Amino acid sequence: MKQLALAATVLLGTALPALADPAWGMWKTEVDDGSYAYVEMAGCSGGKTCGWIRQTFDANGEYQSPNLGKVMVINMENQGDGSYRGNVWRPSNDKTYTGKMELNGNTLSLAGCVAGGLLCKSQTWTRLE
């Protein structure tokens, strides 16, 4: 019985990392209104991907933003081809936009859109880990 439990633990332990979404990890945003952030992308409700602000920086270095811990990338659904659809929150104006992401290796192109996707503002993020 102990051997069966050990075998199950080993199998589950090796299978779980394979279930991680390729967009998961720590990402560095572009500078927006004089500051940038490290955003941790991980799983959230319904098997979707969300991104939480973990650290913030300005010209003087790291600072304690009131946005730390807030969700910036909201319920992104993997479309299966490296693209995602969901929502993006922009801290500098406190607005949430229809969002899309495109993963390409260690870069993540993110866009927040209005008017049914006709007008978008985008950033390219860099993977940190």
Q: Tell me, what CATH number does 83's domain have?
A: 2.40.128.520
Q: In this structure, is residue 58 part of a structural domain?
A: yes
How many structural domains does the chain have?
1
pLDDT at 13 over 70: no
Confidence tier at 14 by pLDDT (50, 70, 90): very low
Residues 92-115 as b/e (b if ≥16 CB within 10 A, e otherwise) read: eeeeebbbbbbbeeeebebbbbee
Domain that holds residue 103: 21-127
pTM of the model: 0.82
The per-residue pLDDT for 38 is 98
pLDDT at 64 over 50: yes
How many C-beta neighbours within 10 Å does residue 68 have? Answer: 13
Q: In this structure, is residue 15 part of a structural domain?
A: no
How large is the average pLDDT for residues 43-67? 96
Q: In this structure, is residue 43 part of a structural domain?
A: yes
Single-letter code of the amino acid located at 10: V
Q: What is the 3-state secondary structure (H, E, C) of the chain?
A: CHHHHHHHHHHHHHHHHHHCCCCCEEEECCCECCEEEEEEEEEEHHHEEEEEEEEEEECCEEECCCCCCCEEEEEEEECCCCEEEEEEEECCCCEEEEEEEEEECCEEEEEEEEHHHCEEEEEEEEECC
pLDDT at 4 over 80: no
Name the token pair of 123. 């950033």
The per-residue pLDDT for 129 is 74
